[in-house]
Amino acid sequence: MESNPLLNWNDLPSFDQIEIGHIEPGIHAVLERCERSVVRLEETAPCTWHALMDPLEKIEDDLGRTWGIVSHLHGVKNSPELREVYDPLLAEVVKFSNRLGQSGPLYQAFCALRDSDEAKQFEPAQERILASAIHEAELNGVGLDDAGRERYNEISERLAELSTKFSNNVLDATKAYRITLTESEEVDGLPATLLELAADTARQEGHEQATSSDGPWVLTLDYPSFMPFMQHSKRRDLREQMYRAFVSKASDGQWDNRDVAREIVALRNDKCRLLGFNTFAELSLSRKMAPDAGSVRGLLNELSSASRGAAKHDMEALKALAGVEKDGELRHWDVPYWSERLRETRYDLKDEELRPYFPLPRVLNGLFELTERLFEVRLEETTGEAPVWHEDVQYFRVYDDRNEPVAGFYLDPYSRPAEKQGGAWMDTLVGRSAVMASSGQAARLPVAYMICNQGKPVGGKPSLMTFREVETLFHEFGHALQHMLTNIDYGMASGISNVEWDAVEIASQFMENWCYDRATLKGLARHYETDEPLPDEIIDRLLGARTFREGSNTLRQVNFGLLDMELHEGFDPEGSETILDVQRRIDAQTLILPSLAEDRFFCSFSHIFAGGYAAGYYSYKWSEVLSADAFSAFQEAGLDNDGEMRRLGRRFRDTILALGGSRHPMDVFRDFRGREPTTEALLRQGGLLEAGGESR
Give the C-alpha separation, 471 to 515, whole Å.
Answer: 6
Angle of helix 236-247 relative to helix 335-347, nearest 10 degrees, comes to 120
Nearest to 21 by CA among 84, 115, 87: 84
Give the C-alpha separation, 411 to 407, whole Å.
Answer: 14
Binning the chain into helix, strand and coil, the percentages to the nearest 5 are 60, 5, 30
What H or E segment, with its residue span, contains residue 399? strand 394-400
**Distant-in-sequence, close-in-space partners of 432: CB < 8 Å, separation ≥ 6:** 407, 443, 444, 445, 446, 486, 487, 488, 489, 491, 494, 495
**Distant-in-sequence, close-in-space partners of 205: CB < 8 Å, separation ≥ 6:** 178, 218
Tell me, yes or no, if 19 is annotated catalytic.
no
- 3-state SS string over 134-154? HHHHHHCCCCCCHHHHHHHHH
Give the C-alpha separation, 545 to 354, whole Å.
Answer: 13
Give one DSSP letter per residue of 543-567, joined into a string. HHGGGTTHHHHHHHHHHHHHHHHHH
| Among 196, 476, 550, 566, the one annotated catalytic | 476
- 3-state SS string over 335-391? HHHHHHHHHHHHHCCCHHHHHHHCEHHHHHHHHHHHHHHHHCEEEEECHHHCCCCCC
Give the C-alpha separation, 228 to 205, whole Å.
Answer: 21
Nearest to 474 by CA among 566, 384, 371: 371
Nearest to 492 by CA among 52, 97, 60, 107: 60
- Which residues are the active-site residues? 476
